[in-house]
Amino acid sequence: MGKLQYDLISNMFAATTTINATNVYSTSEILMMAGKTDKVTCKSFDELAGDGAKTALSGFDFDSVWTTRTNRLPILSIAENYANSDASIADFSWFKPENGVEMEITNERQVIALKLLVKACGNQLSNLLSTQNIKIANVLVPMLDDLSSDMKTALLAKTVAKTDAAQVVNVYAQTSKAVTEGSNCYAVRFVAEINGNQWAGAGFDLLVRYTTADGVKMTSKLTEQTVSVCYKSISAGDDSVTAPDGHYFIVFVLDQVPVSNGNMTFTVSAYANGADGAVYGNAGVVTFDANGSVVAD
């Protein structure tokens, strides 16, 4: 049974931080074009933020073309609906306009970008997917649930492993070390039930995310853990659970989950590799609170 130390990358989803500074720049006049006498004056953020932009930016159409935003710079009205939290953290770096080297989508920011593209394509989705040589990590499958069934089905054809509950029946999680008084961390045990024990390999992929007290979203890098041992039965508190005939359990434990992080969401997928090269998987999501107890939906 493998064990992984808990290791988050800070601020991957960092919220905007305000930096106060003075005397960073001064007002200047710049020629708009050689040979012209028109000049533009550099403006401060305070002058351009909110409704102040209407005064500072003469000649701009704030009735139908531009929209002002409180404590923020103006934005094109047509783009306002896309200036949301998802779009601002989406990672499109995997996107290639032509076929090329296979790209694997492995984190939440990348799958957010993919979903934005999928929704924008609508009934032209097949055209998008035919031009993109991509594979989607199965740990991201639960994040596709808000798509239409047709869109989700199309993306499931692009996953690294085929989602097959007959081979990888389910994925479970439990706190394997109860939080006791004075403790500052706990551990989570992930268990998957698989069909048979003649697989060429097996393992888990894991993403962890939580939100800090001041609203900063944190997420882990993709954690990949292979396993080489399967079990016929496992302990569950004071009892033991035995797998059905012909089925086995694979397990790994994530240690040192900090209590100070509060509610933490674990998205985990398990997979099994066939000798013929076929890969089967299944995935699930669970949230634990600071006491290591499951948070109900």
Tens-place pLDDT, residues 203-212? 999 999 888 8
Query: Rounded to the nearest 10 degrees, how much is the dihedral formed by the CA atoms of 153, 251, 220, 158?
Result: -20
Side-chain-side CA neighbours of residue 85 (13 Å): 8
Residue 290 class from Cβ within 10 Å (0-12 exposed, 13-18 middle, 19+ buried)?
middle
Domains of the chain plus CATH, in order, are 2-13+163-288 (2.60.40), 86-160 (no CATH)
Among residues 219, 245, 223, which one has the least CA distance to residue 232? 245
Phi and psi based region of residue 16 (left: phi greater than 0; alpha: psi -120 to 50; beta: remaining):
beta
What's the confidence (pLDDT) of residue 255? 85
Residue 267 pLDDT > 70: yes
185 or 139: whose pLDDT is higher? 139
What's the confidence (pLDDT) of residue 27? 41
**Digit-coded pLDDT (tens) for 22-40:** 444 444 444 444 554 455 5
163 or 6: whose pLDDT is higher? 163
The alpha carbons of the chain give a radius of gyration, in whole angstroms, of 25
Query: For residue 7, what pLDDT band results from cuts at 50, 70 and 90?
Result: very low
Residue 78 pLDDT > 50: yes
What's the confidence (pLDDT) of residue 5? 41
Query: For residue 167, what pLDDT band results from cuts at 50, 70 and 90?
Result: very high
**Digit-coded pLDDT (tens) for 220-257:** 888 899 999 999 998 877 788 999 999 999 999 988 88
Cα end-to-end distance, the chain, whole Å? 30
162, two tokens: 């085929």
Mean pLDDT of 190-199: 94
Tokens 């299944």 — which residue? Answer: 282
| Rounded Cα distance, 87 and 226, in Å | 33
Q: How far is CA 1 from CA 68, 203, 229, 253, in A?
A: 56, 11, 7, 8
237, two tokens: 């508190």
119 or 181: whose pLDDT is higher? 119
Residue 180 pLDDT > 80: no
Side-chain-side CA neighbours of residue 93 (13 Å): 9
Q: What is the mean pLDDT of the chain?
A: 79
Residue 274 pLDDT > 50: yes
Share of the chain above pLDDT 70, in %: 78
| Rounded Cα distance, 62 and 53, in Å | 9
What's the confidence (pLDDT) of residue 22? 45
